[in-house]
Amino acid sequence: MTVTVKEEEIEPQIIEACAIARDLESFDLLIEDLENNLGANWGGLDFENAEDILRSSHADTLKFITIALDKTDEKDLTFVDNIINAAKERDIKVILVTHDLSAISLHKLMRLGASDFVPYPIPENALKDSIDRVLASQEERVVIKEVFVLPDASLAKPDQPKQGILLPIYGSSGGVGATTFSTNLAWEMQELLREKNKTVCILDFDFQFGSVATYLDVAKNEAAFELISDVNNADSESFKQVISMYKNKLAVLPSPQDAVPLEFIGQEEVKTLIDLARSCYDVVIIDVPRTLVSWSETILNECELFLCLVNLDMRSAQNVQRFMRTLKAEDLPFEKVQFVLNRAPKMTDLSGKSRLKSMTESLAIELRWQLSDGGKQVPSAGDHGAPLAEVSPKNPLRKDIAKIAETFVELSENEQQAATAE
């Protein structure tokens, strides 16, 4: 094996990266991108000797390596496993460049500790983005806030309407369980706050295929759709009149009966609708559509916290990556985002715990809560149009959501008391 290192005629270059492949010449686009990004500060290795090089002094200056793989490499990934482990021991980041690699093999390599991956042929700027991401400093990690960002209650006037807490819930991918979480969280908080004479409202903002009304067995009515369509002429009284009620306790604004474009209302109308809800209820939970639209920015700016549900799979991880990249590019308050893992691995699932650690490190996020897998009882409760607390109160998912509801209630009360004391 020959280590291909590009050198200047006068003095050697510092090698910051290595491209590793069984046949590097077959990944010509990778070579081209590395040359464009690093100039002469990279080298090439093959599978057989890469591990030895990484464990030697030759790797002292390496910041990252790329491992290029295709379908033929799946027969024996032993070399790749050893290379990733050697890189991890030296704190060298690993970027996989994959061509027709199966999802199972890719999942296995990511679980071993690969930092990121890009498909081959490499999309424009994809490798550069990946390099920037894996080399980003630890200071850029998303810091999870422990308390709400509440308005100063000491500044409120006695005749002012209430300013309820706004909690949007966003699913990073289809089937992640965002609507299940939002409806059950709304019910648990309503049960806790009912004793304090406080109220909760849940808004279904998935105007096309929202299912909050289905999960809570409330009717979709035309009056609610008419209010949303002409919200600028609505007031608190008319808002309460079109609200549906679940068991005369939890207020629900369902999505329209027919699918309508998500942007049939604009940012100002969404802001007005949110203000109406917050003036009528102490806690407002929004089931947010997965598609990002113009008024997604309005919700993020208005809320105290933005809960993002994720699953432990590649699809969810990629969407979270895109989501956070969009927030940062648009200079939106991404620090409000708190991540909630649904269907979390059990304590004895060491493999799942390892995959989870790899995913959070790769995405540079922290998980505020982890939810248990509720099993078949969860879709069954949704089909019956009832919260888990009503159908299966001992379900592990229900217990986790109840604890989160208690946390939110305590945090909101503590913040309001502190603000009043000031």
Reading the block at residue 292, the tokens are 């990002």
State the burial class of residue 307 (Cβ atoms within 10 Å of its Cβ: 0-12, 13-18, 19+).
Answer: buried
Examine the fold and report which residue of 135, 167, 194 is the final residue of a domain before the chain moves on.
135
Q: What pLDDT sits at residue 144?
A: 36
Same domain (yes/no): 52, 78:
yes
Mean model confidence pLDDT for the chain: 84
Last residue of a domain, one of 93, 108, 135: 135
Q: What percent of the chain has pLDDT over 70?
A: 88
Phi/psi at 317 (5° precision): -65, -45
Bridge partners (DSSP) of residue 338 are 307
Q: What is the predicted pLDDT for the residue at 89?
A: 85
Q: How far is CA 359 from CA 98, 139, 236, 356, 368, in A?
A: 18, 18, 44, 5, 14
User: Is residue 146 in a domain?
Assistant: no
The H-assigned helical ranges of 122-235 are 126-134, 178-194, 212-215, 222-229
Domain of 191, in residue numbers? 153-421
Alpha-carbon span 414 to 154, nearest angstrom: 14
Residue 229 is part of a domain; what is its CATH number? 3.40.50.300
160 and 87 assigned to the same domain: no
Q: Is residue 328 part of a domain?
A: yes
The residue among 131 and 159 whose pLDDT is bigger is: 131
Same domain flag for 106 and 177: no
Rounded mean pLDDT, 160-189: 90
CATH of the domain at 81: 3.40.50.2300
**Residue 140 is assigned to a structural domain of this protein:** no
One domain, residues 257 and 404 = yes
Mean pLDDT confidence for 121-129 = 86
What pLDDT does residue 251 have?
Answer: 95
Q: Is residue 414 very low, low, confident or very high in pLDDT (cuts 50, 70, 90)?
A: low
User: How many structural domains compose the chain?
Assistant: 2
Contact present, 297 and 330 (Cβ < 8 Å): yes
What pLDDT is stored for residue 198 in this prediction?
Answer: 92
pLDDT at 149 over 90: no
Residue 58 has pLDDT above 60, yes or no: yes
Taking 90 as the threshold, does the pLDDT of residue 302 lie above it?
yes
Residues 321 and 208 in one domain: yes
Q: Specify if 142 maps to a domain.
A: no
